Amino acid sequence: MFDDLKVWMNGEIKPMKEATVPMLSHGFSRGSAMFEVFGIHKGPDGPYAFRMDTHLDRLYRSAELLCQRLAYTREELIEGVEQAVKANNMEQGIIKMMVYMGEQALINLVLDVDLDVCICAVPEDNPPAAIAPEPIDVCISKWRKLHPETMPTEAKACSFYLNGMLARKDAMDRGFDLGILLNLDGTVAEGSIESVFMVKDGVLKTPPQGKILRSVSRRSILEACKVCGIEAVETVISPEELKEADEIFTAHTGIKVTPAKRIEDRELPSCPGPVTQKISDMMHKILTLQDDRFKDWFTKVG
């Protein structure tokens, strides 16, 4: 499905099949690559990017945390997104920016080079959704979340997702859809690529920043809840609390709300629950550009 795409790579539009990276590139052989991903939504007068400025803020912050530097300005990257969207006749779908050291490195760990950038615009028949079509079963993973004193976990580095991959594989092997990672102190962190939310007595709860990715989807839900009058708090959550939740859902770029119907061996009382459904309806209106209170979250890119 990707072979026919065109990408923006270091300032040029080229076919995906020509967007190659050396096998010994630092980004590949040393695992130093990072990325950013966000949705493109169909608007009344063309495609719109969801919170692109916030995603670019996080991209530059990731580079800073990983002691790397981009070769391109924000304005150049925005223009690159626009060119990639246009080259693929894209109305809705996903933008994925790959940022990496293309310089080859056989032995060297630290290179003094600017980062290469490849912007992939992937059209989809259905845009990034407000709610998943099917609920999921979740479990507590046997793996723990990377600790921020070992790596800057708020950075969106490709290599960090090995942690999430192992958690997902562990969950699938046990008959679940998704594994929830705990921090080293035993508190709830996040899913493989998802932020985790729970509802208890009508209050939405999610783990605080500091040990998790600075998720734009998570931030958007919390900010929208505040505007729409839904009570939400960032607080430490124990696995025991999570297992006794009235409602649980996860959130990521592709699907803003994925309700859980079971955690470990416990069926949740309702799925989606009333708060989850309210948040899903709220996000649907936002993502379909029907709520003018959030119109500044969108940037026209075509």
Structure tokens at 141: 């993973």
Structure tokens at 236: 């430490």
> What percent of the chain has pLDDT above 90?
89
What is the phi/psi pair of residue 36, to 5°?
-145, 145
Give me the helix-helix angle, 216-228 and 52-65, nearest 10°: 140
Confidence of residue 277 (pLDDT cuts 50, 70, 90): very high
Q: Tell whether the model's pLDDT for residue 254 goes beyond 90.
A: no
CA distance 8 to 15: 9
pTM (two decimals): 0.94
Query: H or E stretch including 285?
Result: helix 274-287
Confidence of residue 7 (pLDDT cuts 50, 70, 90): very high
Quote the distance between the C-alpha of residue 117 and its chain's center.
18
Q: What is the mean pLDDT of the chain?
A: 95
**DSSP strand pairing (258-263 vs 266-267):** antiparallel
* 174-209 confidence digits (pLDDT tens): 999 999 999 999 999 999 999 999 999 999 999 999
Q: Tell whether the model's pLDDT for residue 129 goes beyond 80.
A: no
Q: Tell whether the model's pLDDT for residue 1 goes beyond 80.
A: no
Query: What is the average per-residue pLDDT within 93-98?
Result: 97
Q: Tell whether the model's pLDDT for residue 106 goes beyond 90.
A: no
Confidence of residue 57 (pLDDT cuts 50, 70, 90): very high
Query: What is the average per-residue pLDDT within 134-144?
Result: 97
Quote the distance between the C-alpha of residue 187 and its chain's center.
21
Q: Tell whether the model's pLDDT for residue 105 goes beyond 90.
A: no
CATH numbers and ranges of domains, the chain: 6-123 (3.30.470.10), 136-287 (3.20.10.10)
